[in-house]
């Protein structure tokens, strides 16, 4: 026993995740569906559960309703009982924008009363938008063994990616001696995962020093490194920040690859299948009808497959009609792909309807970025928002965005060139 009953977890789940574009138009980033039956936040919640930690506060902010509905009372992850619990912590919003969380440290600072109401030896701070498995109990043991004030989970990433992260330089004992937040010219390939263990008293003192220090990576961690004992906890397993369309798509595709290192089932990742009406708990078994072809795909409950599905992830209730083809794509709940339609390299949000003979993702031009959001879509993936209807025989190119709730009258023509937004 490592004293996990004296550890408090704070899960940061308030980010807008704007680079996920219309996937976060109606929901918080951690509530975005993932891997057929999960949501992104299920991975962090399951890590907490599987590590034997029992007290968790979830800090919400941006479009929290679907996330709050998904969390419920925490029953899906066993956060119920006299000594176990999950608490949703929204911002203390008044009439000013300044009442909203200004950064990760400010979010925790605004919930100091929650920390004090749950006496703890350490506080574990997690992000709700990463796909990974981590033994937090082992990280806590490392923190205590090193007698650290702060421990930062870190992993080696490709040199060309380090500019996206906080980067740490360590000595031979694993202590972090220098820190660069999102360095333009990196001197290390050791990246922060945004996962921290703080001694509780140390954290409270640090937060009290300067209210203008609003972010852990930008302010508090560099300050702690300068004067106190901050150690890097080495992580070598699968981990992906799914904050972009490309990384989100790739993480879903990784589930289909036996050699990728990601396996939600064997990791013990637990979804909340009863968080909303008509989810997989209410679905009949999937039906594979005569003449269908399915290859290297994940097909959830309640799907009906008459056509062909290759290298794709289908959430519950998807229908692929006769003659239709789905390739290299992610389809959310209750998407319908009508007869002879094609979906190729696309992400379709809930209840999208693709009309007869329509094509979503056509042409070989994958390099023309989206004109409106060139930094969001530039690798060929086309994005279709929730409840949109693609008219029959419409052809939609690469890197296109179809906004939620679009109907036939919203389409300027039957041919939407690559890079356009409807």
17-44 pLDDT, tens digit per residue, is 788 999 998 888 899 999 999 999 999 9
Q: How confident is the model at residue 60 (pLDDT cuts 50, 70, 90)?
A: confident
Residue 152: predicted pLDDT: 96
Looking at the fold, whether 112 and 242 belong to one and the same domain comes out as yes
What average pLDDT does this structure show over 293-319?
A: 96
Say yes or no to pLDDT of 352 above 70.
yes
Averaged confidence pLDDT in the chain: 90
Looking at the fold, whether 320 and 203 belong to one and the same domain comes out as no
Q: Say if CB 58 and CB 52 are below 8 A apart.
A: no
What DSSP string describes 98-121?
Answer: GGS--SHHHHHHTTHHHHHHS--S
What DSSP string describes 271-296?
Answer: --TTSSTTSGGGPPPPEE-TT-EEES
Looking at the fold, whether 148 and 184 belong to one and the same domain comes out as yes
Domain end marker among 199, 222, 255:
255
Looking at the fold, whether 323 and 224 belong to one and the same domain comes out as no
Looking at the fold, whether 251 and 290 belong to one and the same domain comes out as no
pTM of the entire predicted model: 0.93
Looking at the fold, whether 197 and 134 belong to one and the same domain comes out as yes
For the chain, the domain total comes to 2
Looking at the fold, whether 222 and 293 belong to one and the same domain comes out as no
What DSSP string describes 308-349?
Answer: EEES-EE-TT-EE-TT-EEES-EE-TT-EE-TT-EEESEEE-
Looking at the fold, whether 241 and 303 belong to one and the same domain comes out as no
Residue 268, in any domain of the structure: no
Strand pairing report for 7-12 and 122-127: parallel
Residue 2: predicted pLDDT: 45
Q: How confident is the model at residue 275 (pLDDT cuts 50, 70, 90)?
A: low
Residue 1: predicted pLDDT: 38
Q: How many CB atoms lie within 10 A of CB 128?
A: 24
CA 295 to chain centre: 26
Residue 264, in any domain of the structure: no
Say yes or no to pLDDT of 164 above 70.
yes
Short-list 152, 183, 153, CA closest to 167: 183
Q: Which two tokens stand for residue 140?
A: 């806590």
Q: Say if CB 150 and CB 200 are below 8 A apart.
A: no
CA 387 to chain centre: 21
Q: Which two tokens stand for residue 331?
A: 């389809």
C-alpha–C-alpha distance, residues 407 and 217, integer Å: 43
Looking at the fold, whether 282 and 238 belong to one and the same domain comes out as no
C-alpha–C-alpha distance, residues 19 and 13, integer Å: 16
């Amino acid at each position: 026993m490592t004293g996990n009953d004296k550890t408090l977890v704070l899960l940061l789940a308030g980010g807008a995740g704007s680079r996920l574009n219309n996937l976060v138009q109606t929901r918080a980033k951690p509530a975005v569906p993932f891997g057929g039956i999960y949501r992104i936040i299920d991975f962090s919640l399951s890590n907490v559960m599987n590590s034997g930690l029992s007290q968790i506060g979830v800090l919400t902010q941006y479009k929290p309703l679907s996330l709050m509905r998904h969390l419920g009372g925490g029953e899906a992850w066993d956060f119920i009982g006299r000594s176990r619990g999950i608490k949703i912590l929204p911002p203390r919003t008044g009439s000013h924008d300044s009442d909203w969380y200004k950064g990760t440290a400010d979010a925790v600072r605004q919930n100091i009363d929650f920390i004090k109401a749950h006496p703890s030896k350490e506080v574990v701070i997690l992000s709700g938008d990463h796909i990974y498995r981590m033994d937090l109990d082992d990280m806590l043991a490392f923190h205590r063994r090193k007698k650290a004030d702060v421990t930062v989970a870190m992993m080696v990433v490709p040199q060309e990616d380090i500019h996206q992260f906080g980067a740490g330089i360590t000595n031979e004992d694993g202590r972090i001696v220098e820190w660069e937040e999102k360095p333009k010219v990196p001197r290390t390939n050791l990246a922060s995962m945004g996962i921290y263990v703080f001694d509780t008293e140390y954290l409270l003192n640090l937060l009290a020093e300067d209210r203008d220090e609003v972010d852990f990576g930008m302010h508090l961690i560099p300050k702690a490194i300068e004067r106190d004992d901050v150690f890097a906890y080495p992580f070598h397993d699968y981990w992906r920040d799914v904050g972009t369309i490309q990384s989100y798509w790739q993480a879903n595709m990784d589930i289909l690859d036996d050699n990728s290192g990601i396996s939600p089932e064997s990791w013990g990742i637990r979804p909340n299948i009863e968080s909303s009406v008509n989810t997989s708990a209410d679905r009949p078994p999937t039906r594979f009808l005569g003449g269908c072809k399915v290859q290297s795909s994940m097909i959830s409950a309640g799907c009906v497959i008459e056509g062909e599905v290759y290298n794709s992830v289908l959430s519950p209730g998807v229908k692929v009609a006769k003659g239709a083809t789905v390739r290299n794509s992610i389809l959310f709940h209750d998407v319908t792909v009508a007869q002879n339609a094609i979906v190729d390299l696309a992400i379709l949000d809930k209840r999208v309807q693709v009309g007869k003979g329509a094509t979503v993702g056509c042409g070989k031009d994958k390099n023309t970025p989206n004109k409106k959001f060139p930094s969001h879509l530039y690798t060929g993936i086309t994005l279709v928002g929730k409840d949109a209807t693609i008219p029959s025989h419409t052809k939609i190119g690469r890197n296109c965005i179809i906004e939620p709730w679009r109907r036939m009258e919203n389409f300027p023509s039957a041919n939407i060139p690559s890079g356009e937004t409807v």
